[in-house]
Amino acid sequence: MNSKKDDTVKEPDLEYTNHSYADYLTWQMREVVELIRGKIFKKAAAAPGRIHQKISGALFLRLGNFLRGEKCQIYSAPFDVRFPEKSKADTRIHNVVQPDICVICDTEKLDERGCIGAPDLIVEILSPGNSKVELKFKFNLYESNGVHEYWIIHPETQDLLIYSLVDGKYVPSRLFTSGDVVESTVLKGFTLDLEEFFGDME
């Protein structure tokens, strides 16, 4: 996680579009950053809001309990997910993100630095500072790299949209909201009652 101040590396060139994971490892900045198509995207300098964290924690616990004893593993941010293209070499990887929650069922993709390759499920919880990144850039990144299921949760409106990968393209669900019970197509048997789940998010 790049959150410490470093006197050697001040501010990398935010307009440069060919940064690699090797570069990313040298950045110890105040802000958390992600790398998409070689370009730096800063997350908000302040910590995520309380409701964002409550939603993340509650969903992480539910998924974790569901996956207990299973081969799939669950991780929450800060946790680096690298998407290699032609090579797994640090200098050739140009996409590194920190999803709010991700589930990886192929444990061969896990190493000491995080995950290298597409998780099976990614959950992003929107906040005012990163909605554009989640909705546009990460959508394209996750789709093109084969993330099977992508959840987008909007805390303010308490709704959920799920993109499922079908023949290499994301197919959106309808917008789920209070009263709906959501089922995962990747984690067979996992359901989430949104009225009950969001009812505790005050």
The set of residues, in sequence order, having a beta carbon less than 8 Å from that of 134 and lying 6+ positions away, is 124, 126, 152
Confidence at residue 5, expressed as pLDDT on a 0 to 100 scale: 41
Please report which confidence band the pLDDT of residue 28 belongs to, taking 50, 70 and 90 as the band edges: confident
Average pLDDT over residues 69-84: 96
Confidence at residue 3, expressed as pLDDT on a 0 to 100 scale: 45
Res. 55: pLDDT tops 90: yes
Q: What value does the mean pLDDT of the chain take?
A: 89
Please report which confidence band the pLDDT of residue 41 belongs to, taking 50, 70 and 90 as the band edges: confident
Buried (b) or exposed (e) across 20-52, using 16+ Cβ within 10 A? bbebbeebebeebbbbbeebbbebeeeebbebb
Average pLDDT over residues 52-80: 96
Confidence at residue 128, expressed as pLDDT on a 0 to 100 scale: 74
Domains and CATH numbers, the chain: 50-199 (3.90.1570.10)
Residue with tokens 């669900």: 173
Average pLDDT over residues 103-117: 97
Contact criterion met (CB below 8 Å) for 30 and 10 = no
Question: pLDDT per residue over 117-175, tens digit each?
Answer: 999 999 999 987 676 777 889 999 999 999 999 999 999 999 999 999 999 999 999 99
**In the Cβ-directed half-sphere of 106, how many Cα atoms lie within 13 Å?**
11
User: Could you please report the per-residue DSSP string of 107-156?
Assistant: GGGEETTEEES--SEEEEE--TTTHHIIIIIIHHHHHHHT-SEEEEEETT
Average pLDDT over residues 56-72: 96
How far apart are the C-alpha atoms of 27 and 61, rounded to whole Å?
A: 31
How far apart are the C-alpha atoms of 95 and 43, rounded to whole Å?
A: 15
Beta bridge partners of 114: 111
